[in-house]
Each structure stands twice: as structure tokens, then as C-alpha cells.
Amino acid sequence: MKTVSIPTDQGSFHAHMLGEQGSWVICWPAQPNDYRSMLEFAKLISHQHRVLICEPLGIGANQHLPYSNKVAHSALYAKHVFVYLGIEACHWVGQSAGGAVGAAICTAAPARILSLTLASAPMLRQGRFLMAATFSTAVLSSSSWGRALLLKRSIKLLGYSGQAQKSLLLQYLQTMFDATPPKTIRKLRPLDGESVRAVFDKLRMKPPPSMVICGQFDSVVLPRDQRTVAETLRAKYVELPSGHLSMLAMPQECADAFLSFAAQHSAALRDSQRVPLNAL
């Protein structure tokens, strides 16, 4: 695993680069208000990897409904994403509920998930890391297959490394894992707004590789410049319209809309290799 060090005004920021250069990294946020932090994480690694940010509306939004249904519907949607982009294997970074979705896919098709990360990207507001990371582990450890997966595989947690938060998180994990902590816990130090800008100012000189944004955004700040989503869509980036349909209420309609939109933009990803759905 390659580690890079990026200087900031608060010292050096160390990032672990997953896999080989050009490999797929799928970031699956849980709620719309987590987009900003996940975008920051995606931009950090986009100069080495192909990054997909995927967020079907409804994940984590209707807590009064059975959570298992939401995971199943989201995993079905993720399979369509795999098929269209021809992703045979990827590194999965799951934010909150996204960790459970990645775990479901990892269980059904382990060859597809090279590494599973329960993530909280570098947050600008303290406190959200513990809530997001513990929510993922709570969901996974509530089922027998989830507990087995957590104990069997190397699980990584990205977030704050403060001693108080670290102690609280480890105490929680030990409880959820029956006093058996995950094999590996890696954390990224917190960054404030100025540090984040300093990090990405250093990346502006390097054009980012292919990045597919799936969901709805008010604005996207790219490493090279600042452009709105509308301007981005007219360039080399693609937005996939999942945000206007609820995966929870209309999983098939959402999948159909995704495939229809993807067919219209096949030229943007003409190098992608299609794979049959049953191959997942």
C-alpha cells in the first residue's frame, strides 16, 4: 500500500493510496449532507484512481422503515453500476450506511470487493465521524454474516485520530465485536477548511482522471478549478440521475432511469467493458 505525504499549513497529511494506480474506488455516502466530506476524500485520491461517488436518494433518510430493505435495494442498484461501468473489482469506501451496502456486495460477490472501508472522510465538523463510523459497524454487527465479515476481513476506519475519540471508538468497537477489535484501524487526521484548500491547491496542477459523479450536487469543486455541475456535465464528467428517484420506494424505476441515462452517455465511458448481470 503506497503512502503519500501532502504538506499543509498544519503539518503533513498522510494518505494511504489503495491498490494500483488507475484502480476503481467506489465511495458510497449515506446522506446528502455527507457529500462535501466524501468529495474532499475523492478529490484527494482522484489523481491516482478512478473514483465513483454514488448516492441513491433514500439511504439513511427513512429510519422508520426496515433497514435491511434499504441495504438490499441499494445493493441491487450497485450491481447495475458495476454492470454499466464494467467494474470487475474495486475498493469500496462506505460512508455510514454505505459500509453495509459494501459488506452486502462483499458477501454475495467477494471477488468484486478488493478492500472494504467503513469510512468517515476528513470531516470539517467534529463529532460526525463517531456517529457515521459507529452506525456502519452497528448495522453490520447486528447480523451474523456482518459479524463474521468484520472479524474475518481487515476493516479500515478513516476519520479523526484524537485520543478521546479514539478511545471512545475502540471501546464501542470492542463491544460490538464481542471484545474482538478489527485487525486494522487506520485514521486520517482532521483538516479544517484552510487545510483542505491548501491540500487541493497543490493538486490543481495535476488534471484529475476519470471521475463519475452519481447523484445531485449544487456545486462541485474540482482539483483544477471551480465549476458548477452544469458546466461539469458539458465537460468530461457525467452526472447520473439517481437523486430524483427514491431507491427505497422505486428500486426498479431508479435502476431503469440509470440504465436509460447511461445508454445516452455511453460515449463518455466508451472504454468501459460491459459484463453480464449474472456475472456479479
Whole-angstrom distance, CA of residue 13 vs CA of residue 7: 6
Q: Which secondary-structure segment (H or E) carries 12?
A: strand 11-17
Predicted pLDDT of residue 93: 72
**139: its cell numbers:** 448495522
Please tell me the predicted confidence (pLDDT) of residue 107.
Answer: 65
Q: Give the CB-side neighbour count of residue 43, counting CA atoms within 13 A.
A: 25
3-state SS assignment for residue 204: coil
Alpha-carbon gap, residue 273 to 88, rounded angstroms: 9
How many CB atoms lie under 10 A from the CB of residue 66?
A: 10
What pLDDT is stored for residue 97 in this prediction? 59
pLDDT of residue 112: 84
* Structure confidence at residue 82 (pLDDT): 77
Distance CA 152, CA 177 (A): 11
Distance CA 71, CA 79 (A): 12
Ramachandran assignment for 242, one of left (phi > 0), alpha (psi -120 to 50 degrees), beta (any other): alpha
Asked if 87 contacts 81 with a C-beta cutoff of 8 angstroms, the reply is: yes
Per DSSP, the three-state class of 221 is strand
Enumerate long-range contacts of 13-19, CB under 8 Å, 24 or more apart.
13/188, 13/189, 13/191, 13/195, 13/199, 14/188, 14/189, 15/44, 15/45, 15/188, 16/186, 17/45, 17/48, 17/49, 18/45, 18/49, 18/91, 18/114, 18/115, 18/117, 19/49, 19/91, 19/114, 19/115
Asked if residue 220 lies in contact with residue 229, where contact means CB atoms within 8 angstroms, the answer is: yes
- DSSP letter assigned to residue 268: G
Domains and CATH numbers, the chain: 22-279 (3.40.50)
Interatomic CA distance for residues 209 and 240, integer angstroms: 18
What is the predicted pLDDT for the residue at 184?
31
Q: Show pLDDT as tens, one digit a residue, over the chain (280 residues).
A: 455 444 443 344 344 444 556 677 777 764 444 455 555 556 666 666 777 766 544 444 333 333 333 455 566 667 766 776 678 888 777 665 566 667 667 667 778 877 666 544 333 233 333 334 444 444 454 455 555 555 554 444 433 334 444 444 444 444 433 333 333 322 222 323 343 344 334 333 332 332 333 333 333 333 233 333 333 333 332 333 322 222 222 334 434 444 454 455 444 434 443 433 333 3
Place of cell 459479524: 147
Separation between Cα atoms, residue 23 and residue 26, nearest integer Å: 10
- The pLDDT of residue 213 is 33
123-144 burial, b for 16+ CB within 10 Å, e for fewer?
beeeebbbebbbbbbebbbebe
Integer Cα distance of 80 and 86 in angstroms: 10
